[in-house]
Structure 1
Amino acid sequence: MTLEEQAKSQELQTLETIETEITYQVDQDIFLTHFRHSDTAEVYRILNINSSISEGLHSANMTFPYPEERVRIFIERNKYRARNTGSTANVWAIRESVQGPVIGLFALDPCKHREEFYTCTRDTYEPSTVPSLKTISGAAEAQAQKESISASVTNSNVTSTEPIEPTKSLVTEADQQEWLSCSSFGYWVSPEVSGRGIMTKVVTYGISQIARPVFGFERVHGECWTENTASRRVMEKSGMRSATGTPVFVPKFNKVKDIAHYIFDTSVHDP
């Protein structure tokens, strides 16, 4: 390797390190980090193991098989946000170690849905009960993690699902007292690690430790197909309460599917 190549390699490694500085430790062996260019091949492989991820998501873009070029675009878009918008990332790679391979995705997106999605007025707000989260080795680590989260709140903005523009305020001053600040979350996990309780821990952590402390979301929404009993169990075990779901027409399936809808009202007292 030439000196120029070595310098370039070191530069890329440094950039990767900077971009993964905000890392959330969910459990002893579960971490949320930024996505990296080096994740491309593994994400592509996971999304094409079988059709389970595509069938579980209603996004028309989540197809099976899934093109590698779309994986590259997705990762580059999220890296661009992390580097250039000056905002906290809202899409994370799930890993079993900070530098380990990606095993899934978790995202918290702002939503402004009003009556057509669910009535999210302030009089419907009911702070949810948060299941107990285990820490690795005691109170000192838990406190350090809390302080890390609090530090990341300073001057952070909620980012949109678009690659460049940060999201503007979810509500105007005129209706701020009536409407809750809401988010919806999404996820997928490799079929190779499903059934191990990973997503229950990630969702519980995300809706209680990130949604309110980092982004200020007062309510978090989650959805899945009614027949997706595994995802329903994840949301129920995470402390979410069932709400009325609205059937939707899904173009990639060419049929109407019933949705199970869950909500979690965050609290300023969440641990």
Structure 2
Amino acid sequence: MTAAPAGGPYTRETAKCMGPYTVSTDPALYLSSVEFSDIPEMVRILNINKVIYNGSAFFQYPYLESYAQERIQKAHDVFSTTGINTHWAMRTTPGGPLIGWAHLHFDHFDDKHPQPFHPVTGAPLVVADIGYWLSPEHTGKGYAARMGKFLTEEIAMKDIGCDIVRAVSYVENWASRKVAERSGMELELEGESIFIPKLGRMKEVCTYAVHKDPATKTAISKRGYDYASY
């Protein structure tokens, strides 16, 4: 992974990837760090209906202000301790209201899920998953697909130095799967059953991935996902 600036704890002035990033100009779309001032709009959007709840492994319904407060605090804790911002608000102007959310989650490895290495060079691989949601008021405009491609290619791979970026969706969530495909990812695994804590049961998911080096497509086997640890 690209090294963070030296000398933590980090501030928004010293942390990497804070934004704002210009994703596109037509339609206008920007990514910038999530802020506590985003809480009211975040709560409003996540309570419009259950579309985001039904498509996500994380978000509850009804969505409370305390949930948003906790989630944004965790996002700020990440950049203050690591020096790299990994959570962004989607906005139609650089300082405008939040219309969606995007984040990166770096894979952590252990005995059950060992560190993967490049099959040719032997270098350890940096692997991340992306997650996202978009307000139902803004669907159908290509925002999510543009965000997914930019987050994958420009932020995860270029700015942070990821070797592999993945996205996981419920098998039946075709809208989310199309975002992954339009982000340049290919279907890697379909029909894996994983435990979803908020539902208290297993659900089938599919995994999409993009590799900086095609050689790494054979480097990682099925590793499973533990949403309780995200």
Give your verdict on TM over 0.5: yes
Residue 130 of structure 2 corresponds to residue 185 of structure 1: yes
What is the aligned residue count?
A: 199
Q: Which residue of 1 aligns with 2:219?
A: none
Q: Structure 2 stretches of 5 or more lacking a match?
A: 1-10, 214-230
Spell out the pairing of 1:256-271 with structure 2 (5 A cutoff): 256-266=202-212
1:95 is matched with 91
**2:51 match:** 52
Note if 1:25 corresponds to 2:16.
no
> Do residues 255 (structure 1) and 201 (structure 2) align?
yes
Write the distance in 1 (CA, Å) between the matches of 2:23 and 2:103.
14
- The alpha carbon displacement at 1:75 in A equals 2.2
Residue 181 (structure 1) shift: 1.3
| More strand per residue | 2
- Cα deviations by residue, 1:24-50 (Å, 9 ceiling, x for unpaired): 110011101011222110001011111
Structure 1 range deviating more: 180-189 or 250-259: 250-259
- TM-score, normalised on structure 1? 0.65
Per-residue Cα deviation, 1:120-163 (whole angstroms, up to 9, x for no partner): 5523x9xxxxxxxxxxxxxxxxxxxxxxxxxxxxxxxxxxxxxx
Offset at residue 251 of structure 1 (A):
3.9
Deviation by residue 1:3-44 (Cα, 9 ceiling, x = unmatched): xxxxxxxxxxxx999999631110011101011222110001
Is residue 2:138 matched to residue 1:197? no
Q: What is the TM-score when the length of structure 2 is the normalising length?
A: 0.76
Distance verdict in 2 for CA 1:16–1:97, change over 3 Å? farther
Structure number with greater Rg is: 1
Match of 1:6 in 2: none
Mean Cα displacement is larger for which, 64-73 or 25-34?
Answer: 64-73
Hey, what's the Cα distance between the residues in 2 that align with 1:109 and 1:206?
12
Which letter does structure 1 place at the counterpart of 2:64? P
| C-alpha RMSD over aligned residues | 2.9
What residue identity is the alignment partner of 1:69? Answer: S
Q: Give the 3 Å change call, closer, same or farther, for CA 32–39 of structure 1 in structure 2.
A: same
Aligned equivalents of 1:86 and 1:251: distance in 2? Answer: 27
Matching residue of 2:105: 109
2 CA distance for matches of 1:251 and 1:40?
23
* Identity of matched residues, %: 28
